[in-house]
Structure 1
Amino acid sequence: MLVIWEVDSAASHRQETLTVNQHETAPFVYVHSFAEVKKLVEEGECSRLLIVCANDTLPDNYDLTAFFAKTAVYLFTSAQKEAKLILHFLLYQWMTNDFSFIAVEEEGERVDDRTDTGQINWNNSLKYIHENLFDNNLCLEDVASLNYVCKWHFSKLFKRKLGVTFREYIIRERIEEAKRRLQRDDSITDVCYAVGYGDLTHFGRIFRQRVGMTPSDFRQKYRRKQRSG
């Protein structure tokens, strides 16, 4: 979610600004204090932080250092009334869905798709996911950034397109690969690391939740089936 912080907002002005919290087509929210920003960043709700400041610099008591490792921070200084009006207008257009998003598919077709999943290049997104499927560092934000959207918005479109959440999709694909490797008689430890899990206990728990048995039991069951066949 995009968080917008107008550092110098006066109380009268706050009531006039757009305050949107996870709107269906515009996942952004206005905040009016450093404490609110800190809370959203620490809770992982802020994918990007846009700071609009009328002065040349932020006040000295606002230390943004801790934010840099957790979110992307954009600071606009010397932002006068005209700049703020432009910002509000653009956000309003986004919220009311007046912008048209044109997706160009590989076949060369142009698709006008403002509210559906056509603004996402699914071919490239899924290709990237499967190329990095077994990388323990694969995350939703990386894939969302390929399409220039925030992770919250991409997550919603991903579930609408594929019927499962991003996390569930990754787990499902990894467990299917783990099953194939176990049927090849690979060691459980090798399978664990090969499919993107860095902890054997965690892998065993996820596998059992999805398959109904431990990796060891699954492999033994497959061996018995092979011998009886």
Structure 2
Amino acid sequence: MKKQFFLIGLCLVLGAVLVAGCLGGDDAGDSNATVPAEPIAPPADAARYRGNVTGISVTNNETIMTLEKVKGTGGDASMNFVFGDNSKANFNLTDLKIGQYIEVYYGIPAGDVKPDPATVIVANVLQNADMVVYSGEIVNVTPAVDVNNSTYVGKLEVKLENNTTMIFNCGNSTQFYMNMSDVTAGTKVSIYANWIIQTSMPPQTTAYEVSKYVD
């Protein structure tokens, strides 16, 4: 009899665990926790800054965060941003954490004077910087097969700072924030790319943005 009660109790416990997993909870979806939510489309004519969160504070019920640029990327070394009533984000402010890689779109007042803190128009949490930002020296440039491709670049073979080599596939959607004449072997670049890497030799992924490396 005791054995029967034990088995019934065990079944009830397992059933409760399965139900809790289906309904979700504080830890629901942890397997996809590293995949950010779909980014909110950026507004027109807004400035953009990307950086790692290095500071978070709350003053007068307003959340202020400090972002610090990734080595090699352009822009100010760091910037402060405040979330206003009309700010939009693809994350909850309560989920904001030190170390997250975030892009912010904000307005620039007349005279190009950057406010401090700048008010967030749109903020998107991205994949961790070490998974989407790459720096290195171009080793080889493969022209695009399609001559109508506006970039005229099909692939960039780059020797990364860790001395490994990686292929970055380019297309019409790839933005080159540099003179195309500088897209050649020997130029040091910073690349914003897809975090999904193909397990080829060498590994490869898609380049979204290519800029000259900034010391």
TM-score (norm 2): 0.24
Which protein is richer in helix relative to its size?
A: 1
TM-score (norm 1): 0.23
